[in-house]
Amino acid sequence: MDRIPNSQLIENDIPGRNASWKKIEPFALTFNGYRHWGSFRKCREVAKEGVRFYRENKEFTQSLTDLRTCLFFESRRWKHYEKSPSKKGMEYVHTLVEAIREHVQAKNLD
């Protein structure tokens, strides 16, 4: 998949509710968190905040950009590990994907 700006993201671009990592990873790469935030460090900070919020609340209130950053960072993390996400990792990824879907459905494209 090519890069997709938030303003052009549609629900059909988003993998299904229980999609495999093989289907989610290309979608995650439609957003480049490093480029958007200008550095690995800032991208990592946004992603760490997403993980913290998820662990505390099991839901998200972050912007679409922050959610896509989190998903992008997960794709890079698991690529670095050279394996697919664990079961717990996939639960987090699926929650991110659904939160992204909710933003797109509600037209909250920030």
Listed by start position, the domains of the chain span 6-105
Give this prediction's pTM.
Answer: 0.94
Instruction: State the pLDDT at residue 38.
Output: 97
Cα–Cα distance for residue pair 36/41, rounded to 1 Å: 12
Instruction: State the pLDDT at residue 99.
Output: 96
Instruction: State the pLDDT at residue 1.
Output: 63
Give the tokens for residue 20.
């495999």
Instruction: State the pLDDT at residue 61.
Output: 84
Cα–Cα distance for residue pair 110/93, rounded to 1 Å: 20
Instruction: State the pLDDT at residue 59.
Output: 75
Encode the chain (110 residues) as per-residue pLDDT tens digits: 689 999 999 999 999 989 999 999 999 999 999 999 999 999 999 999 999 999 998 778 899 999 999 999 999 999 998 999 999 999 999 999 999 999 999 998 88
